[in-house]
Structure 1
Amino acid sequence: MGAGSNEPEVRMKTLFIVAVLALIVWNLGAGLYYMVVDKGTTNRTVNALTKRIALSVALILLVIAGIATGVLQPHDVHRG
Structure 2
Amino acid sequence: MSDSLKTLLIVAFLVVIVWNLGAGLYYMLVDKGTTKRTVNALTKRIALSVGLILLIGLAIYMGWITPHGVGG
TM-score w.r.t. length of structure 2: 0.94
What displacement does 1:33 show?
0.2
What displacement does 1:77 show?
1.6
Report the RMSD for the aligned CA atoms in angstroms: 1.4
How many residues were matched structurally?
A: 72
> What code does the residue aligned with 1:10 have?
D
* Equivalent of residue 46 in structure 1, options 39, 46, 53: 39
Structure 2: unaligned runs, 5 residues or longer: none
Distance in 2 between the 1:38 and 1:72 partners? Answer: 42
**For the pair shown, which has the larger CA radius of gyration, 1 or 2?**
1
Structure 1: unaligned runs, 5 residues or longer: 1-7
Runs (4+) of structure 1 exceeding 4 A deviation are none
> What code does the residue aligned with 1:33 have?
Y
Aligned to 1:36: 29
Overall identity of the aligned pairs, in %: 67
What displacement does 1:45 show?
0.1
What displacement does 1:76 show?
2.3
